[in-house]
Structure 1
């Protein structure tokens, strides 16, 4: 009978059941407190009483505001009636300073600040109107004529800033449908409020006018605003209730109800926070479990977990696919005492000890180690292994976890890439040898041809006995010079091919260019012109031998292309010109070689410096490539253009003046 398969449960290693039990008991305690507070919540009826009290206060404020509006309107309507009577009297004579009317407006002085008749088309006297108020009063007069009823204006400032604002009233008068004029009166608002409101009302209320000149202070629960809307004017009265208007008993009940409500709310908040914390913890645990499961299913990493004693606790599906064994089979084999793991080679030592040591060593843990496993079919597998300790919430190490990535294919590719890199380096060396051989063939072609010509001519004249001793010496000297030149060419090409460090010394360009141009042989019929500044000219750091090689190649190349001109382009004799120029910023000096040939076509400019790319019959295509390599080794550049006067190609070697 096979041994029982252990059931590894690494998901619950970090759960604290005691903490969960404490949270449960705390929640029950708060629930009991909540039930007790629910019983106490019967006193919330006091809140209803408080609401009724607030509604009663609102109804009282509304009634007071309506009473104020009606009282003031009734008082002002009496004044409108008196002004209508005065308007009729004004047709017979000027109005009396104090009319003999029976109304309450005319019993005491000061109740009417101004009154008078304003005929149609006239305006109020200037001495009765405060500055800036004439437009408002004129609008009032126009309104009475248009609407044929009384109109108000204000509150407006009085003639004296020390007095209260005035309320203006105009009553129109018509005779046989024709507007005759208005009778106008100005009423001080403080006297209006003092005389119109009875004493019993003012015992419980303080009434004041709220104007722009006296901004309203913040209103409390005992203060409210009572608007008085009049035709053409709107008054805002601030009414303050005097004394304590609320009853003590409802407020006491309200305070008790609020205390009970606050306690119940506090208990609810604590219970909600505890429940929410539990829900977040459970959601976090579920998310972590789902995330870990999804990660194990999605990543190709093989994961293994061991306890502190080295017993295998868990392997994922990816590790099973890696070694060809299912996780259940591996766990069954690991539970068998003395049974080695089938995927681990014995020569590598103990698997658990190696991974545990790797988890303890920070350097090894970061870099990982390459191990070799054995597949179920016997094939070796190379893996990159990392390991880390399994640490619980309270800091105790419960085991170790290892991850293994299959790098068998990557190792094979790296070994193949190393072999290909070695082959590539060998090919590069062969290319370098070919470049040196091509350069030698290009450079030695001319001197060897000249040597062959001199030797053949000398041999023919010796055989024919047409030459004396004195004639042989110059020929041999020419042959000796060509041999030395050939040796120097071999030295230059050898040094350039091996990329030896150049010997850069200050070089005066004027004598250097003159010497190279004078020593360069050009085809017959090609005229060479040298345009150099006096003295030594610009001085550049350069290797004279390599730079001479590049300049000589350009001059020879120009001399070979110059005779290929057509009469349509350059009707004169073939010419080559060598000159010195400077850059616009004076940071570089240029050696310019121009010819009267056909020039470089635009489609060939991009390939003219490529190796083995020659557009001249019989050419190897190495001359310009070597020139560019030499100039770039001097941190310079070559520019190609068309000569503006010779109409041929123009090559400019730019060399920096500073090293």
Structure 2
């Protein structure tokens, strides 16, 4: 529902009555015209695409027909030349058995026989040595030396002998010093019904193509034994026993002229249709221009409908409120007539700013405070944008208001919660430092106390010499130095300072830490270590504390299980990108539902425990860019802890 109040002086005001005009009939005509326009444009587009596809199909069919004809001609031409070469070799075979008379008609050989470099080898091979490749002529033996060539050459000779006709083999890789493939040919000789032998020839494939194919064909085509990168087609050559395909690449492909001419005429007709469609669109544009008085009101109504969930209001250049919607009325708790009468006068808002009428762009969002009708304070986010006519004249402003009272309340609540979390974090850090100091300083301080008590007793009894005092005092000095380094490293870790990482050999390190853990009577500890393990960069003191704490924790839980005697197993496991320090125990294990909380601070399953040990261990491992996992031990039946450390890349 929109409520309006018109100002007394309509200087540059909005004609609200225009929003009530019935423009349904004009809109329907425009919709019908646009449907016709879209339909005609679709028809034009489909026609152009269909014609292009039709032309392409005709050109492809013509190209395929031309390629097929060229391939057939090439096959027939080359087959003729090779049959002529077979005849030449048959004559040579006959001359090897019966020399020609001194006088007689001269035999004119074919083009392949006459061409330079085409026939690289020819010779007579009697029937007897054919079954023994070692007795073949040297060029034939050299060709058979290539992988898979001996079988192909033998098949060629067997075919010539068995079928008593010419047989081919190849193309095969060329011999040493010859880069072009070689085509082998065997022509049998039969006398009195008996196979006498075969005349064998080696033909250079590329030279044969250049010699047999006429120049006029090579002007328009490029022939090769290897397919080129551009468009080409294959022309198979039907020779008995030879798998030979020639790659043919047309050099000058002329497109068919008639289909293109037809397409040009059709495209010209379609252009005429586009001109007609342009005039139709121009006529629709003129009708839209006559309805320009409704454009501002339609834009206002559309903007209000799109933001119906916000509080909307409009005001003129003098700051007088013209429109409010029901969402804005519900937001401030005032009825529309009271708002028009000035119920919000004096409260901060964009409509009270004197500089707004002189501004042209949309206003940035402003956080404001307003009073609700019942007295409580509202926090809102207000936006403003100018309301302009078609010629750019600003006649008012349109604004939207979003109630952010609840959001601001939640932000303040979140800030207080963050302060509490930071305080808890500081408390956890203090606990980590205290627990770590207690763990680490217990051993060196206990040893210092034992050494001091023993030294004092010996001094009182005067049963010790100066030479015996020196190593004891040196040992006490080393223990005191270790305690100092423990305090420094724990303090640095608690302050998140950079650790002192050095290359650490894990095999002796794990063995030393595992043997240094105090164990209860009857507890068995198995140390399973590989012969060698990759070194990792680590802070040895902190990592020793973490592993010591995990082994100690396992030794305390192992006796509570059902296995007798209780057992703890420590091993090193290797993965492609990480190395793991694994600790198993025979205790009762950790339920799966509790495994996600055991690393939390102040969480402990032991009576009187602080719940800081595993939390500190995980912090140390994560500081080494590793991770700590917990699961069930399939080996001992209790818990399994794994400290994964990444390997250096």
Using structure 2 for the length normalisation, give the TM-score.
0.47
Computing the radius of gyration from Cα coordinates, the structure with the larger value is 1
